[in-house]
Amino acid sequence: MRPASDALIVIDVQNDFCPGGALAVEKGDQVVAPINAMIDDYPVRVLTQDWHPADHTSFATSHVGGEPFSLTRMPYGPQVLWPAHCVQGSAGAAFHPDLRTDPADLILRKGFRPGIDSYSAFFENDQSTPTGLQGYLRSRGVASLTLVGLATDFCVAWSALDAARLGFVVTVELTACRAIDLDGSLAGSLEQMRAAGVTLVGSG
Ligand code: VGL
Ligand code: ZN
């Protein structure tokens, strides 16, 4: 077991991000086995779940003429329009059936406000509305985080960058991550994480 100040944060290992899902990440299901093997080693274990209302503003279907994977502007900045995914209570929003969820201490849902997306597990995309995760981790004495899950270049990267900014020691275990890679977003996100002092281990 790792020291009591170490947490594993498992980002969005949900059916819609796995092959056959609404926003499938290539080989997304391959993160399940390594995560299942890692989780018992961490004294603090958090799973996150993307959890959108059916009319969420990040969905292309919520915009007249909105094309999936195109870029639009929101009051809080640029926003990719996604295929509808992880709708609250749907099968696509459920965790991958093979993911070991019983060992989790906390399941944190994000992206539930209709008008704002939330890639990061710490702050919504306005970069100021908190999810509460920082307080949870601090009150449990966590100082060091390992992040895994989906997708490397969106929710994992945004979570890692926020965590580093908040002063946590951050590692991303790439062997247990897979990327969407929209227009070079994977390379860009790896570079940003490195520049922010995030330790990148392995490769996805
Ligand atoms: C994610 C796009 C939209 C992710 C969530 O989990 O990386 N990406 N919603
Ligand atoms: Zn989403």
Cα(85) to centroid of ligand 2, in Å? 6
> What's the token pair of residue 5?
């100040």
Q: Which of 26, 82, 153 to mutate to test the pocket of ligand 1 (most atoms within 8 A of CB)?
A: 82
Catalytic site positions: 12, 110, 155
- The pLDDT assigned to 204 comes to 80
User: What tokens does 126 get?
Assistant: 């306005």
What is the full per-residue pLDDT of the chain (204 aa) written as tens digits? 999 999 999 999 999 999 999 999 999 999 999 999 999 999 999 999 999 999 999 999 999 999 999 999 999 999 999 999 999 999 999 999 999 999 999 999 999 999 999 999 999 999 999 999 999 999 999 999 999 999 999 999 999 999 999 999 999 999 999 999 999 999 999 999 999 999 999 988
Go through the chain and tell me how many residues it has: 204
CB 81 within 8 A of CB 59: yes
Which bound ligand lies closest to the C-alpha atom of 180?
A: 1
CA 151–ligand 1 middle distance (angstroms): 6
* 34 phi-psi bin (left φ>0, alpha ψ -120 to 50, beta other): alpha
β-sheet with 169-178: strand ranges across: 106-110, 44-50, 6-11, 144-150, 169-178, 199-201
Tell me how far the alpha carbon of residue 121 lies from the centroid of ligand 1, in angstroms. 11
